[in-house]
Amino acid sequence: MSKKQQFVKFDKVDKSYDGKVLVVKDLNLDIAEGEFITMLGPSGSGKTTCLMMLAGFETPTNGEIYLDTNPISNIPPHKRGIGMVFQNYALFPHMTVYENLAFPLKVRKFSKEDTDKKVDKALSMVSLSGFENRMPGQLSGGQQQRVAVARALVFDPQVVLMDEPLGALDKNLRESMQYEIKHIHESIGVTVVYVTHDQDEALTMSNRIAVFNDGKVQQLSSPDKLYEEPVNSFVAEFIGENNTFSGEVVDISKGECKVKLDSGTEILSNPIRVKSKGERTIVSLRPERAIINPEKKMDNKHNGKIEEVIYHGDHTRVRLNMLGNSEFILKVPNSSARMDIKVGNELAVGWNSLDARALDPK
């Protein structure tokens, strides 16, 4: 099957519930066939509303949504060929696992023989063969979620929508289910649109991530680009841990800018969203991009006072008071030659200007 660049398309979509406030604003988003795309953002950012419009449970106020080039805003949910997985599983408690999976096939008038084949295939896909006669109440949370995923896939939908599907699971189960869903997607190639507020989940599972805030997509990128190259201060702070400094651009040339921080110190940065002297900026630096006691010459080298030390197994999280930021975070790998890091000590910290991104202030 050839890849279509616009298998799902949001074209200038607005959504308002009261006719005044837009919860989704001028959304233009193309999703390729076979892609796993995640809509990520805080509560109220518009991501779930977008999913509900694609599912057919909400209607756009303006604009149109297309599925395989066909406008679908006036097509009822059950005729869109879309599978759906919810956070609360939404299984029928009075039906067996087999009956839950057979239900969407029955609605679509599949024969008993085809239904049996498809249910077997779907259960095998989620490693639940042999569970056909169990009731949902006899299953663990993880098993129920697997059944919900199988039911969304059983009728070979064009698109599967997942709304916070792992939110009710404990941490270990949640992480194993992330990989399971990712592997299912890779093996069958169905288009998946996934909604979550969990950044780690989005980074783990997605081909691309759309970061929502205030009804708009702030950035649409691959996970690595989103983390390494955030385009604004909202994305930088929402995705992963991030150190920030406020200041003013005092010089900009040769792909580098000098920023005078509010604390009075000057640092060298990468001018991502600043163009001229005098501009206010927020400089963003990932904790793992800074190193302690740098031996080689680095563009930026400063001392900070250790305020807090927390052991995390594979690394130690160190909080410093440095350059006017009392929440400066370092992640120091735990090796056999662990350094003596203690609260109250001074620590030299260095980083390269390329890793310090001068972004627009909020």
Residues 25 and 136 grouped into a single domain? yes
Q: What is the mean pLDDT of residues 7-33?
A: 95
- The span from the CA of 55 to the CA of 276, in Å, is 45
Residues 137 and 251 grouped into a single domain? no
Asked if pLDDT for residue 293 goes beyond 90, the answer is: no
89: left (phi over 0), alpha (psi -120 to 50) or beta: left
Q: What is the mean pLDDT of residues 357-361?
A: 89
Residues 153 and 171 grouped into a single domain? yes
* Residue 2, pLDDT score: 43
Average pLDDT value for the chain: 91
Residues 83 and 211 grouped into a single domain? yes
Residues 157 and 224 grouped into a single domain? yes
- The span from the CA of 162 to the CA of 270, in Å, is 37
16: left (phi over 0), alpha (psi -120 to 50) or beta: beta
Q: What is the mean pLDDT of residues 259-278?
A: 93
| pLDDT band (50, 70, 90) for residue 1 | very low
Top mean pLDDT of 5-9, 92-96, 169-173 is at 92-96
State the CATH number of the domain containing residue 30: 3.40.50.300
Contact 180/126 with Cβ under 8 angstroms?
yes
* Residue 160, pLDDT score: 96
Residues 269 and 196 grouped into a single domain? no
In this structure, is residue 195 part of a structural domain?
yes
State the CATH number of the domain containing residue 349: 2.40.50.140
Angle, CA 126 vertex, CA 122 and CA 131 arms, to 5°: 80
In this structure, is residue 197 part of a structural domain?
yes
Angle, CA 103 vertex, CA 100 and CA 104 arms, to 5°: 120
pLDDT in tens, 96-115: 999 999 999 998 899 999 99
Residues 159 and 301 grouped into a single domain? no
Among 191, 213, 233, identify where a domain stops: 233
Q: 56: domain range?
A: 8-233
Q: How many domains is the chain partitioned into structurally?
A: 2
In this structure, is residue 46 part of a structural domain?
yes
In this structure, is residue 1 part of a structural domain?
no
| pLDDT band (50, 70, 90) for residue 338 | low
- The span from the CA of 87 to the CA of 166, in Å, is 6
Contact 67/193 with Cβ under 8 angstroms?
no
Q: Residue type for 274, please?
A: V
pLDDT in tens, 22-76: 999 999 999 999 999 999 999 999 999 999 999 999 999 999 999 999 999 999 9
Among 178, 209, 233, identify where a domain stops: 233
Q: What is the mean pLDDT of residues 123-150?
A: 92
Residues 205 and 330 grouped into a single domain? no
Pairing relationship of beta strands 216-221 and 325-333 according to DSSP bridges: unpaired
Contact 190/1 with Cβ under 8 angstroms?
no
